[in-house]
């Protein structure tokens, strides 16, 4: 029996970006679920049980901040890593997104598609290792947040992945 594909929920109101990211992430072997606004994103997060969510901040119906808050407050979705990908690049917006539980905050015009694919892989690998450790310790349900250690910088610095991991 074939192993299930890793699922990524991409929530963004920009139709062109949804299609570009769906094509690129699918090419890397991920199953990509698309949502065009915050409400649809929350529904699909509950139904599809994604392994990672890529979330825009400026959207109709519910903002990314509202979506992130609801995801964190829901026992079904609170342990899904959320990677913010937004045009909002002010320090207070970045801090708010990270404080609300996002594993990283990427500013759209400061990162390439390849960098985002690398970040996705990095966080999914961290999640898999964390999940294996919880299962090995007999605690398969109590997931902890996945992300870089507190002393590492976040992607708004636009440093290459190799430097961030040091």
Enter the tokens of residue 29.
């072997």
Handedness of CA 16, 48, 89, 120 (dihedral sign): negative
pLDDT above 60 for 84: yes
For residues 100 and 163, give the distance between their C-alpha atoms in angstroms, rounded to a whole number. Answer: 25
CA nearest neighbour of 50 among 34, 74, 66, 64 = 34
Question: Which residues, 6+ apart, have CB-to-CB distance to 78 below 8 Å?
Answer: 71, 72, 101
List b or e across 9-43, with b for residues whose CB sees 16 or more CB atoms inside 10 angstroms: bbbbbeeebbeebbebbeeeebbbbbbbbbbbbbe
- Among 1-10, 47-56, 67-76, 150-159, the minimum mean pLDDT is found in 150-159
What residues does 7 pair with on adjacent strands? 31
CA nearest neighbour of 126 among 141, 147, 155, 142 = 147
pLDDT in tens, 4-52: 788 999 999 999 999 999 999 999 889 999 999 999 999 999 999 899 9
Q: What is the mean pLDDT of residues 57-80?
A: 91
- The strand order across the sheet containing 52-55 reads 31-35, 7-11, 52-55, 82-86, 104-107
pLDDT in tens, 97-134: 999 999 999 998 888 888 888 888 888 877 654 444 43
pLDDT above 90 for 145: no
Enter the tokens of residue 142.
């109590």
Decide: 122 and 115 in contact? Cβ < 8 Å.
no
pTM of the model: 0.75
Domains and CATH numbers, the chain: 7-164 (3.40.50.2300)
């Amino acid at each position: 029996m074939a192993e299930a594909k890793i699922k990524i929920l991409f929530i963004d109101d920009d139709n062109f970006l949804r299609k570009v990211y769906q094509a690129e992430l699918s090419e890397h072997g991920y199953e990509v679920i698309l949502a065009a606004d915050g409400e649809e994103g929350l529904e699909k997060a509950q139904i599809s049980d994604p392994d990672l969510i890529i979330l825009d901040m400026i959207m109709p119906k519910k903002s990314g901040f509202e979506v992130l808050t609801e995801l964190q407050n829901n026992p079904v979705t609170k342990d899904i890593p959320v990677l913010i990908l937004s045009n909002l690049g002010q320090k207070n917006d970045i801090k708010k997104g990270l404080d609300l539980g996002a594993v990283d905050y990427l500013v759209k015009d400061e990162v390439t598609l390849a960098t985002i694919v690398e970040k996705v892989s990095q966080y999914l690998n961290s999640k898999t290792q964390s999940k294996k450790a919880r299962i090995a310790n007999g605690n398969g349900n109590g997931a902890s947040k996945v992300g870089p250690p507190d002393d590492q910088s976040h992607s708004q610095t636009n440093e290459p992945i190799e430097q961030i991991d040091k």
